[in-house]
Amino acid sequence: MELKRVVVTGLGALTPLGNDPETYWKNLVLGKSGAAAITRFDATKFKTKFACEVKGFNVQDHIHRREARRMDLFTQYAVVSARQALNDAGIVAEGFIGDEGSEEALEYAGKHKIDPDRSGVVWGSGVGGFESFMNEAKNFYHGDGTPRFSPFFIPMMIPDIAAGHISISNGLRGPNYATVSACASSTHALIDSFNIIRLGKAEVMVTGGSEAVITEGGIGGFNALKALSTRNDDPQRASRPFDKTRDGFVLGEGAGAIILESLEHALARGAKIYCEMVGGGMSADAHHITAPHPEGLGATNVMRATLEDAGMQPSDVDYVNVHGTSTPLGDIAETQAIQKVFGEAAYDLSISSTKSMTGHLLGAAGAIEAMACIKAIEHGIIPPTINFEHQDEDLDPKLDFTFNKARKRDVGAALSNTFGFGGHNASVLFKKYSS
C-alpha cells in the first residue's frame, strides 16, 4: 500500500525554559539554563539540591480546580500542552464545541472541525504519576497502619491516564494509549502516531509526552544511581554535555505536545505546516539496564533504521539533536555511533544537546527535543550546547557540537535521538515540507 505523508501542524510546550513553544525556543536560542535550587521540597540533605523545574505554572489558569485535584502533575502538564497544540493547529473535534456562550464554545469558535473517530492520542511518560505515588505512600507510612488511600490514587498514578485525559477533554475517539520506554517514551509515541497516520488508521494524532518526578524519590533515586550532577554551587552550569568535567545529568520536568496530521487532511483544511515527519527508528542495546552499549551499537542501529525508514542518506541530514545527557559514558557512546552512521558526513553535521539547558525531562525529553528540531527547520537556527569549557580527549574535536552559542544554518532535515534505561532507543527525522 502507498503510505500517507505526515506533517506537523501544531505545537504545545511546558518546559523549564518557558510555558509555550515560542518562549521555549527563544530561550534555547539564547542559551539559557533552566536549572535552579529545588523548590518542590526541602533538598538540604540530598546530594543534588537543584533541578530544572517548570516555573510560573498555575494549573487553575487552565483546568478547573476540582478536575485538577484528580490529576497528577504529569497529567496536568499533558492536558495543558495538548490543548496548546490543538489551538495552535486550529482544530477541534466535531460536535465538541461546548454549550452556547460557554468558555469552551468561545474558545472553539472558528476552529476547523475534525472527525473525532479519526483523531487520536498516543502519549509517552517514563514514570507516570510518581508524585501521587510518593504522597500516598508517605500518608500510609505516617499513619496508624489503617489502609486509607485516595479513590483517585490508581487513576492518578498510571502512565496511560494522561492519554485518557487528553482524549476525554477534547473528545478524541481514535487510537488512544501510552508508550512507556523510560527516556525514549515520547519518541516512541511520536513514531507510533506517525505510523498510525501513514497506514491510514487516523488523520490527526495528538502526541508527545510529559514527566513530573522532581520529588524526594526522583532526586534520591537518581542520586543512588550516581546519575545526577552534584554541582550544587553552580546549578546553571551543571549540565555540560561533552565537556570533560561532566558529572551527570540534571533532572527536568514538563511536557511537549505535537499535532501530526496526514498531508492530505492538512492541505484540505488549509493548515499551517511546520515541517514533514519522514522517518522513525527503534532498537535495543540488549546490553545493560542503565549503561549504554560501550560501542554505541543500539544508537548506531536506531539512526540507520530511521534513515532507511525515511529513504534518506546520511548526507541529507543537517542537524542532530543528540540524547546528550551529560553522563561520562553516554556522551561518548552516542558520538561514536554518529561517526559510524554518518561517516565523513558527520563533519558536516551540526550537533547539539539541548539538555544542557532544559535538563533531562526523561519520558518527555523526546517530545521537546523533537520540537527543537522542528523549530530549527522553521527558523534556520541550531540551538547550542551550553557550558562547554574543557575538551574531552575521547571525543573528536572536529565534530561540530555547536558549543555555547546558537548558529544560523539552513536546516533541510533534522534528526532527534532518545535512549532509555533498559536499552530502549528511538529516533525521529523531520525535513522541510515541500509539495
Contacts of residue 11, defined as CB under 8 A and 6 or more positions apart, other chains included, come to: 21, 84, 85, 88, 256, 257, 258, 259, 274, 371, 374
Report residue 106 as a C-alpha cell. Answer: 468561545
Pairwise CA distance, residues 324 & 289, whole Å: 18
For residue 250, CA distances in Å to 62, 138, 374, 430 come to 28, 25, 24, 27
User: Which is catalytic among the residues 293, 360, 373, 424?
Assistant: 360
Phi, psi of 381 (to 5 degrees): -135, 135
* Inter-residue contact 240 to 390 (CB < 8 Å): no
Strands 413-420 and 424-431: antiparallel
* Inter-residue contact 305 to 365 (CB < 8 Å): no
User: Which is catalytic among the residues 183, 275, 293, 373?
Assistant: 183
Torsional sign, CA 62, 63, 64, 68: negative
Q: Widest CA span of the chain, in angstroms? A: 67
Q: Is 360 a catalytic residue?
A: yes
Q: Following DSSP, what letter does each residue of 111-137 receive, concatenated?
A: PEEE-GGGEEEEEE-SS-SHHHHHHHH
Q: Is 424 a catalytic residue?
A: no
* Inter-residue contact 79 to 63 (CB < 8 Å): yes
User: Which is catalytic among the residues 165, 188, 265, 323?
Assistant: 323
Q: Is 275 a catalytic residue?
A: no
Pairwise CA distance, residues 285 & 127, whole Å: 21
Give CA angle at 258 (278, 194), nearest 5°. Answer: 35
Pairwise CA distance, residues 279 & 427, whole Å: 8
Pairwise CA distance, residues 80 & 387, whole Å: 31
Report residue 325 as a C-alpha cell. Answer: 545527557
Q: Helix, strand, or coil here: 36?
A: strand
Q: Which of 62, 56, 103 is nearest to 84 (CA)?
A: 62
For residue 246, CA distances in Å to 18, 33, 416, 421 come to 25, 16, 22, 19
* Inter-residue contact 259 to 91 (CB < 8 Å): yes
Active site residues: 183, 323, 360
